[in-house]
């Protein structure tokens, strides 16, 4: 499997695992056998129980699903949402992306995590703010206890949008570059600004562009509707020590 480094503090905390898949693994539309094999490979690489991976039906909104003890993954698989939270050991949360941002959030003070899918629509709708609010209200976290890792996504160098889309983010310094009628938006800069604004203490940004790195990543903008998908995960294992991981598989 391809590897890389995110330099995220999430990797250095005991009892927490996280990872961002790369192009050799495809979690988009493909055969059931291939999908099962890719799920197995990612689970082995990152270090979580494959049968306790929870995902939802992503719709570019701001809904957050809380995963509680005793729920099987199938119980939420058809729910329309773009973020998941839990404080349960043994549970892993996952979101798929193909240019949008995967945002993984962890409380440093107590076992509580979130995984969010954030493209421009989700950012505009407030999915990151909703994720932080849900963590804090559900598990008694303070936002200052939270750290976040923003995974590989399309970069501001190439993410061209309409003027209407750019207007959603023009108030954030450096987030929009406009020239000769072209508008480029830096989604990672927007995410970092939004997270810091609600009190998150540290935000790590992956130094990768899904569009510009075809060997490493699937990209909807590059390949269209047939593009594959990355799966991005964070889980609570309850183990005091874990094998070393690069964060990317």
Q: Could you read off the pLDDT of 197-230 as tens digits, one per residue?
A: 999 999 999 999 999 999 999 999 999 888 999 9
- d(CA 219, CA 199) in angstroms, rounded, equals 31
More confident residue, 97 or 181: 97
Residues in contact with 56: Cβ distance below 8 Å, sequence separation at least 6, in sequence order: 65, 76, 77, 79, 80, 81, 82, 84
Q: How many CB atoms lie within 10 A of CB 47?
A: 18
User: Is 242 a residue whose pLDDT tops 80?
Assistant: no
User: Is 185 a residue whose pLDDT tops 70?
Assistant: yes
User: Is 3 a residue whose pLDDT tops 50?
Assistant: no
Of all residues in the chain, what percent are helix, strand and coil, respectively (each to 5)? 30, 25, 45
pLDDT of residue 14: 79
pLDDT of residue 245: 46
Token pair belonging to 226: 């047939």
pLDDT above 90 as % of the chain: 84
- Domains of the chain plus CATH, in order, are 9-236 (3.60.140.10)
- d(CA 17, CA 11) in angstroms, rounded, equals 6
The sign of the torsion formed by the CA atoms of 24, 28, 34, 38 equals positive
Helix/strand/coil for 24: coil
135-205-211-43 Cα dihedral, nearest 10 degrees: -60
The label of the residue with tokens 């629509």 reads 121
- Tell me how far CA of residue 211 lies from CA of 4, 11, 30, 51, 155, in angstroms: 16, 25, 21, 31, 8
């Amino acid at each position: 499997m391809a590897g890389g480094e995110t330099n995220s503090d999430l990797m250095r905390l005991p009892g927490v695992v996280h990872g961002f898949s790369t192009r050799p693994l495809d979690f988009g539309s493909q055969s059931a056998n291939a999908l099962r094999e890719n799920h197995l490979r990612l689970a082995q690489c990152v270090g979580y129980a494959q049968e306790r991976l929870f995902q939802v039906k992503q719709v570019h909104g701001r809904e957050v699903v809380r995963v509680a003890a005793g729920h099987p993954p199938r119980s939420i698989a058809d729910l329309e949402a773009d973020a998941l939270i839990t404080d349960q050991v043994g549970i892993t949360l996952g979101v798929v992306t193909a240019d949008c941002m995967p945002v993984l959030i962890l409380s440093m003070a107590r076992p509580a995590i979130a995984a969010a899918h954030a493209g421009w629509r989700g950012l505009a709708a407030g999915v990151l703010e909703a994720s932080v609010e849900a963590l804090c209200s559900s598990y008694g976290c303070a936002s200052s206890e939270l750290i976040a890792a923003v995974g590989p996504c399309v970069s501001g160098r190439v993410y061209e949008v309409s003027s209407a889309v750019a207007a959603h983010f023009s108030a954030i310094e450096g987030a929009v570059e406009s020239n000769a009628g072209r508008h480029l938006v830096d989604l990672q800069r927007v995410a970092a600004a939004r997270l810091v604004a609600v009190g998150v203490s540290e935000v790590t940004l992956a130094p990768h562009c899904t569009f510009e790195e075809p060997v490493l990543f699937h990209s909807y903008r590059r390949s269209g509707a047939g593009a594959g998908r990355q799966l991005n995960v964070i889980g609570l294992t309850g183990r005091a020590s874990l094998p070393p991981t690069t964060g990317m598989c």
